[in-house]
Chains A and B, each alone.
Chain A
Amino acid sequence: MFNVRKLAWVGFAFMLTGTALVAVMIILNEASVLYTFYPPLAAHPFFYVGLVLLVLGIWACCFGVFINYSHWRKAHRGQPTPLLAFFAMGVFVLWFFASIGITIEVLTLIPWSMGLVETTNVMVGRTLFWWFGHSLVNIWYLVAASVWYVVVPKLIGGRHFNEKLIKLVVILLVILNIPGGFHHQIVDPGISLSIKYLHVFMSLAIAVPSLMTAFAMFAVFERAGRRLGGKGLLGWLKKLPWGDVRFLAPMIAMIAFIPGGAGGIVNTSNQLNQVIHNTLWVVGHFHVTVGMSVVMTFFGICYWLVPYLAKRRLTAKMNRLGVIQTIIWTVGMVLMAGSQHAAGLLGDPRRTSFTTYGDHSTALSWIPYEYVMGMGAVLLLIGVLIQVYAVFHMMFFAPKGETEFPVAEAEDGAAPAPMWTERWGLWIVLLLMVVAMAYVVPIMDFILNAPPGSPPIKTW
């Protein structure tokens, strides 16, 4: 029998080596390709080798979980997988298929960056990058959503929502996800209008499971709040444990997904994207979505997961520090993301250094917003310092003891999810069909009607 834990360690070693190699190449200024490392910008071949190692590490973890899953299914015939494990399975399936795009991209860039081939097809590279890049943000989101659905209800003394609906959300997010990558290329040349039109719909399709999430979560809150004696239209809100950081942080994260999702719909609409593309608006968008919805959930997780894993306890004092951290982070992110959205609407470009473009009046109008952004950044660093302190304190110094792994249960008498939800083979086939539908035509088009390829370009 395969040792799954060993695979997780193999993954750790590969990921760590890859991470280190990538970081070293950037620090040596041998990888000035920006975070979106698609061509024509080229890095040192070792940068790409580091990325390959990172992906191999992820795959080791994926296979570990897949093997584990199949063992579990064999040993528990006729039983649906526990919810949290079902989410984790979705996360790793998405990791695996998302990373195929980046693997193909990177493997074609290695010989190009070494000078073995002269040119590369830029559109193919960008498309494969976003196949991965878009799915990656949804991987983080799915991890966060698993906590919203399964952990948060337990923390507020409630039950989780209908298991079948939750599993359906996971399945939809996994199947529909990858082609969303095209919404990062709305202003790219070389993609036909009909394909772009198709992808506006593909992107908006993700809104369906997101709205299902919003509805389900608020139903859970209201039910729990009313059970605790909340009266009237909104009285149940007051009954929620706002002073408990394990709840407060993911709750603010969920609320942030409302402007985050709305901003996403702006981004993915053809005409509106022309206004905000490559401006600070996009940076504001991902500070709300990643910086709040995802990261605050991850922070909230730490306050039970770290003590749980380290066999320690969350103290009232640490909880208080966590609440303060959450407030600082929220204020910091609101200042940061709010000013970035506003500056972006005024045309302030992203991915640049400070400049006034020769004191042009438009550029001068951005400056007040940029100051606010700087203030946000100061608060956020304070937030990071507190959070890092909290995590290492809980890992090594908090009082010893047992902490519960909080997993909500179903409502009394609720039906378990039907067994068809476990048909991962079928979900993967559907995922591949959706990918084929989205990618075969445009990629063939990029290759058959390719413009001249690009040599490697280094800007600095």
Chain B
Amino acid sequence: MEQARTEPIRQTSKKALGINQKDAKVSLSYLTVAFVSLLIGGILGLLQGLERSGLLELPTGVNGTWHFITRCFFHYFYDWLSVCCSFAFFRGPVV
């Protein structure tokens, strides 16, 4: 259990899984978009959370748009990351 933290996981299998470098680049690109979206969504989300709690006032007019764009960026995060992972999970074992 201790060793699991730092050392590579014990390899019980001979057939190591591989994804080639070009596929890795695809997955990393999707992942980058996902985490940039998460960052934007997170900042907007905090402002929205504070607004909804009455702790902060956002300019009128921006308000409704805010709710929507926050959620959109979170969605970009889930969608891009699920594509990234599924692609990697598919190509890793199969190719």
Contacts and interface: CB of A to CB of B under 8 A. Distances in A.
Interface in B72-92: 72-73, 75-83, 85-92
Interface of A: 4-5, 8-9, 11-12, 15-16, 19, 22-23, 26-27, 29, 31-35, 58, 61, 64-65, 68-69, 72, 81-85, 87-89, 91-92, 136, 139-140, 143, 146-147, 154-155, 157, 228, 239-241, 243-244, 247, 290, 294-295, 298, 301-302, 305-306, 308-311, 315-316, 319, 336, 351-354, 356, 367, 370-371, 373-374, 376-378, 380-381, 384-385, 387-388, 391-392, 395, 402-407, 409, 459-460
B49 A373 contact: yes
Contact of A301 (B61, B85, B87): B85
A377 B9 contact: no
A354 B52 contact: yes
A384 B11 contact: no
Contact of B24 (A15, A140, A143, A309): A309
B82 A241 contact: no
A161 B5 CA distance: 24
B54 A460 contact: no
Given A91-B86, A305-B88, A353-B51, A68 B29 contact: no
A400 to B, nearest CB: 14
B35 A392 contact: yes
A128 to B, nearest CB: 18
23 contacts: A11-B83, A15-B80, A19-B76, A35-B72, A61-B86, A64-B87, A89-B90, A140-B82, A146-B89, A244-B4, A302-B31, A305-B31, A309-B19, A371-B53, A371-B55, A374-B49, A377-B48, A384-B45, A388-B35, A405-B16, A405-B19, A409-B12, A460-B61
A404 B49 CA distance: 39
A84 B90 CA distance: 7
Contacts of B81: 143, 298
Contacts of B13: 409
Given A157-B4, A306-B28, A404-B8, 7 more contacts: A27-B69, A68-B91, A82-B93, A84-B92, A374-B50, A378-B50, A407-B92
Contact of B1 (A16, A243, A302): A243
Contact of A143 (B18, B31, B85): B85
Given A5-B23, A8-B87, A309-B27, A290 B78 contact: yes
B6 A315 contact: yes
Band of interface residues on B:
35 or more
B94 A81 contact: yes
A377 B52 CA distance: 10
B16 A305 contact: no
Interface in B23-79: 23-24, 26-33, 35, 37-39, 41-43, 45-46, 48-55, 58, 61, 63-65, 67-69, 71-73, 75-79
B5 A243 contact: yes
B64 to A, nearest CB: 6
